[in-house]
Amino acid sequence: MSQNKGVRRKGRIVAFQVLYGISFVPPEGGWTPERIYNLSPAVLQETNEDVVTFARQIFLGTCKDLGKLDETISKYSKHWKLERIAKVELAILRLSVFELLSMPDIPLKVAINEGIELAKKFGDGNSRNFINGILDAIARDIDNGKFGDLKNF
């Protein structure tokens, strides 16, 4: 495993842990995503600054685009309302869809595979197939130009 791949995989795990954690306690009273991130135990325990930096980038990007990400996930999760998707899967989908739509330096297949890896590690037996189905459909539509210019996402 290349060093960059390892850093990004660990960064995704950290970002997932922070995003998943706030799904139980929505921020209020001046808790910005940056402050939540900086004070998260997952972040404070991580010693590799590259991991922390990558995790911050995808966590804050996901928080910033949350409405658009949820709209996209809703569109592709046929027969599943957002509220019915388990918190683990929703956090993974939000991070992965953010990468698919907003990080052109990450190949689509890599973003999908990394989402599946998170599902294997943190989800249940059905998580992997659920995540894969949604991410694969979104990636196909990105390839087919259905998202237009992703710079405007």
- 40-77 pLDDT tens trace: 999 999 999 999 999 999 999 999 999 999 999 999 99
Q: Which long-range contacts (CB under 8 A, 24 or more apart) does 48-52 make?
A: 48/7, 48/10, 50/7, 50/11, 51/7, 51/10, 51/11, 51/14, 52/11, 52/14
Mean residue pLDDT of the chain comes to 91
Distance separating the N- and C-terminal Cα atoms of the chain:
31
Q: How far is the C-alpha of 17 from the C-alpha of 137, rounded, in Å? A: 25
pLDDT tens digit sequence for 73-115:
999 998 888 889 999 999 999 999 999 999 999 999 999 999 9
Structural domains of the chain ordered from first start: 3-152 (1.10.940.10)
Is the model's pLDDT at 149 over the cut of 70?
A: no
Q: Are 111 and 58 in contact (CB under 8 A)?
A: no
Mean pLDDT of 128-147: 94
> What pTM value is reported for the model?
0.92
Is the model's pLDDT at 151 over the cut of 80?
A: no
Provide the pLDDT for residue 24: 78
Phi-psi region of 28 (alpha: psi -120 to 50; beta: other; left: phi over 0): beta
